[in-house]
Structure 1
Amino acid sequence: MNSSVIADNSIVLENLKTDEMIEFIQKLVRINSVYDPEVENANEAEVAQFIYEFLEQEGFEVHLDEVVPGRPNVIAIFTGSEEGKTLLFEGHTDVVSAGDIEKWDYNPFGAEIVNVDGKDRMFGRGTNDTKGNVGAMIYATKAIKDSDVPLKGKIKLCIPVDEEGLMIGIKDFIRKGWADDVDAGIICEPEEKNLCLVQKGALRLGITINGKMSHGAMPLTGNNPVWGVGKVITELRKLENAEKDRLGKHEYLGWPSITPTTIQTPIKGVAQINVVPTDAYMTLDIRTVPGQNHDALVNQVQGILDRLMEQYPSGDDKFYATLEIIDNRPVVECDIDEPIVKALAKAYTEVMGSEPIYNGVPGATDGTFLTAWRNIPVVVTGAGDREVPHQVNEWCEIDDLIETAKMYTLAALNFLNGN
């Protein structure tokens, strides 16, 4: 690395205001952005507006782009002094529910900083997933802008809604053309600063099983769909084991899985202990690894239903079921030789003084659709223990957030300026 590059990098890091960044993250966490369709104004609007006003005040080109009423994406752009590539930083504004607040030791929306075993930790919903990393990516970009060093190309910030749901925010961002000029992306999620190059696929299915309502004392006069649920689960477990035997354990992603997650019976009306229900509905959360084809899996699940319908065509154990696809997120991978991977690897070594750790994301992220729909190479990385998201007493270490912000800063310089 030549002396001018070292000097520029040093200038930028000097402009990374980490104390201000931590205060900014605290402000983000203190804004409750849990989405609840049953509660008025329970969405990401307030935190999105706060981020929009901050970025506008800091001199960014910034857009507040409504996806659906009350749920806007924030998009900001910093354009360098020369033509070049476009790098995307992406992190979402929504957080999952705090659950039973009485089980928390700290206010889930308090962003309290506590010293634990000699390390300062910020506690609260979103500190880890992923408001801490949103703050890190914003302040990394702000440091580059404020330093006034030469920069080729542009940095685009995408701060969408609904990552924890059906990812309507990133889908809207892509559909409206915001990603058309993006050459590579850094997805800012809690991954212990591991460079995650592959993400599990997610296939969500719903199965409706029809039956016939009757008195619980006279089950033979009806047709209990709950027995059908049991038959389906038994067959799905066989399919899961067959896929595990076929594919083995992936180096970064572990085992593929087929998980029944919810069972509702009856679908409408009141469940009663002495009533055979009319119908049942179950959902499957299928997580896939390289080597699995989602269309083939859907066909295999449909095949199970078809075989059961053929095996139990009539009588009190008649089986009839229909299948629906709720969500479909494919496995995506990023080659280790991609420039964005090299830029992040170099930044990691500069900040941490060691070689990077490569890994995979056990679930899907917004980056899944950037790769699947636009073939954009993405790496998922950020501050935060990988096992802490969605837990009670969610936390993130302050030092981890600072190191991540430095890594984001240098990665952007490395990628755009070709350092």
Structure 2
Amino acid sequence: MADGLLETAIGAGISPEDVKAISDAIDIEELTKLVLDLSNIYSPSTGEAEASAFVHEWMSREGFRPLSVGAVPHRQNVIGSFGGHGPGKNLLFTAHLDTESEPADPVVREKTKRPSGTVNREWKECWLEDGKFYGYAVANDRGPMSCMLMAAKALKKAGYELSGRMYLTACPGECGPEPIEERGGIDYMGKEIGAHYMFHHGGVAPDFAIAAEGTDFGVTWLGCGGAMFRIRIYGESIFRPLLKAPRATADHPSPIYKLGPVIEALHAWSLDYEKLNAYHAKGGSSLPKATISSVQAGFPYSGGTEVAAIYVSCDLSPKQKAAQVLHELEAVMRSLPGLEFEVEPVNVSHGYEADDEEVAPLVTGIDIAVQSVLDTPVEIAKPVYSSMWRDHNVFNMHRVPAVTFGPVRWRPTPEDFFKCTLMYALTALAVCGRAEGDVKALAGKTVYGDNPFD
């Protein structure tokens, strides 16, 4: 460790001996096995039960006193804890159990995926090849989840006692879906059934939180929300033998024929949307985008329709509200002559950010951990990681300073996860502090510095 890093570590009560002791307590083969075992459980949104049970059993076996809470029996949040032996700060780690997947419903799959799109091995299988992990569940999000679990085990194995609590939480529903129209109700709930539900009912009281997800070892305390708007276009359904078809599609009575100019206008608006709503702050940059995500118009067997609907999905930076987008979309539609329309939001989740000063102690702890492992200061994460929903939004929403921080996102290696595990453990030690009578301190090793989080 360089002299500058040693000084930084000393300032937070972390010594080079701590780094070595915790590093030695991490078994990279055990970590790799946990990543693969957990990631090879098929766990799409709404189907997280088996992965939830696996994490609960692991926490119980390792002595982290797990609790399961959920709005429904088959979608349980798992909450474990380590430490809590003194007046230190509480640090919560959260990772999500669900992974994006191909549609399970064959009707939805046929209408949204080309035939070759459903045969990708990485949807359901994870493996190690040429020193890299493959499989979507590893990256999103059970690789970082394994790191957070193994970080607590390494601290325990190395004999550290934390003054504050280190919460370990595994939650369903981060990826979605969201209830909408005929697919509504609790069976389709996403975010509210996961970390949001856990925050209210999981017996946690964190001072800080980390969403354990891949960020390429960068950190950000910003997060975008998202909203979906339904634009209904109304027209007439005329019995085909009576139809006198006009030459111009804009004059056609069917709302389906009016979709072309509407799509062009919405696309032009979306390009400006990206430019006008970019948000740059100390904790990162949010670059919200907007797209047309679905078009629905009638049924093949009905012969015609009076309604065509376009669904617009957009990101919302921490400074935006859904009302802004509603007004803009209405203005776009009014600019098109002769249209009868209706615009309304069907799903809304706002974005959030932590207060720069309130989150600073957590960022300092992460920076110390990154410097101790990578020999370089932590950097602000790439905009992509602060331009999406991640569950640190839940905590920033509730005034608990939170960041997202984690390992290499794409094609991580066992070494990447080893480094991340060590960083998570060092961050917990820095933030939560050592309990009085910590066996490492009693072993004759000097512990430098005061806990800067008191």
Partner of 2:350: 329
Distance 1:297 1:53 in 2: 45
Higher helix share: 2
Kindly tell me: are residues 185 and 248 of structure 1, through their superposed partners in 2, closer, same or farther at Cα, counting changes over 3 Å? closer
Distance 2:412 2:275 in 1: 37
Distance 2:167 2:389 in 1: 21
Does the CA-based 8 Å contact 2:69-2:201 persist in structure 1?
no
Query: Mean Cα displacement is larger for which, 49-58 or 191-200?
Result: 191-200
Kindly tell me: are residues 293 and 53 of structure 1, through their superposed partners in 2, closer, same or farther at Cα, counting changes over 3 Å? same
Partner of 1:225: 255
Of the three residues 53, 56, 62, the one matched with 1:58 is: 62
Partner of 2:440: none
| 1:307-357 Cα shifts (integer Å, max 9, x gaps) | 369x52xxxxx5132413312222434527611111101111111111222
Kindly tell me: are residues 188 and 238 of structure 1, through their superposed partners in 2, closer, same or farther at Cα, counting changes over 3 Å? same
Does the CA-based 8 Å contact 1:75-1:157 persist in structure 2?
yes
Q: Secondary structure at the match of 2:100?
A: coil
Q: Does 1:406 align with 2:422?
A: yes
Does the CA-based 8 Å contact 2:141-2:213 persist in structure 1?
yes
Partner of 2:404: 380
Of the three residues 376, 381, 390, the one matched with 1:354 is: 376
Distance 1:340 1:191 in 2: 16
1:260 partner letter: I
Partner of 2:43: 33
Kindly tell me: are residues 244 and 44 of structure 1, through their superposed partners in 2, closer, same or farther at Cα, counting changes over 3 Å? closer
- Following superposition, the deviation at residue 277 of structure 1 comes to 2.8
Kindly tell me: are residues 107 and 204 of structure 1, through their superposed partners in 2, closer, same or farther at Cα, counting changes over 3 Å? closer
Of the three residues 344, 367, 375, the one matched with 1:345 is: 367
Does the CA-based 8 Å contact 2:39-2:126 persist in structure 1?
yes
Higher strand share: 1
Q: Does 1:144 align with 2:160?
A: no
Kindly tell me: are residues 332 and 271 of structure 1, through their superposed partners in 2, closer, same or farther at Cα, counting changes over 3 Å? farther
1:65 partner letter: V
Distance 2:285 2:297 in 1: 34
Does the CA-based 8 Å contact 2:318-2:351 persist in structure 1?
no
> Which TM-score applies when normalising by structure 1?
0.83
**1:34-113 equivalences in 2 (<5 Å):** 34-35=44-45, 43-97=47-101, 103-104=119-120, 108-113=123-128
Of the three residues 149, 154, 167, the one matched with 1:156 is: 167
| 1:24-55 Cα shifts (integer Å, max 9, x gaps) | 1111112111236xxxxxx1101110110111
Partner of 1:39: none
Of the three residues 169, 175, 192, the one matched with 2:194 is: 169
Unaligned runs of 5+ in 1: 37-42, 313-317, 389-394
Aligned residues: 387
- Alignment RMSD: 2.9
Does the CA-based 8 Å contact 1:329-1:364 persist in structure 2?
no
- Following superposition, the deviation at residue 384 of structure 1 comes to 3.0
Partner of 1:259: 291
Does the CA-based 8 Å contact 1:209-1:320 persist in structure 2?
yes
Does the CA-based 8 Å contact 2:89-2:432 persist in structure 1?
yes
Distance 2:279 2:155 in 1: 41
- Following superposition, the deviation at residue 78 of structure 1 comes to 1.4
Kindly tell me: are residues 69 and 132 of structure 1, through their superposed partners in 2, closer, same or farther at Cα, counting changes over 3 Å? same
Distance 1:127 1:299 in 2: 40
Of the three residues 276, 282, 297, the one matched with 2:310 is: 282
2:323 partner letter: D
Distance 1:187 1:276 in 2: 48
Kindly, what percent of the aligned residue pairs are identical? 20
Distance 1:112 1:203 in 2: 35
Does the CA-based 8 Å contact 1:334-1:378 persist in structure 2?
no
- Following superposition, the deviation at residue 244 of structure 1 comes to 4.5
Distance 2:10 2:275 in 1: 51
Distance 1:244 1:29 in 2: 34
Partner of 1:11: 21
Q: Secondary structure at the match of 2:138?
A: coil
Kindly tell me: are residues 68 and 229 of structure 1, through their superposed partners in 2, closer, same or farther at Cα, counting changes over 3 Å? farther
Kindly tell me: are residues 45 and 249 of structure 1, through their superposed partners in 2, closer, same or farther at Cα, counting changes over 3 Å? closer
Unaligned runs of 5+ in 2: 1-8, 104-115, 177-189, 247-251, 434-450
Q: Does 1:364 align with 2:389?
A: yes
1:371 partner letter: N
- Following superposition, the deviation at residue 195 of structure 1 comes to 1.1
- Following superposition, the deviation at residue 142 of structure 1 comes to 1.5
Partner of 1:391: none
Partner of 2:32: 22
Kindly tell me: are residues 210 and 11 of structure 1, through their superposed partners in 2, closer, same or farther at Cα, counting changes over 3 Å? same
> Which TM-score applies when normalising by structure 2?
0.77
Partner of 1:392: none
| 1:84-122 Cα shifts (integer Å, max 9, x gaps) | 211010100111115757754x5654432111xxxx112
Partner of 2:444: none
1:400 partner letter: D
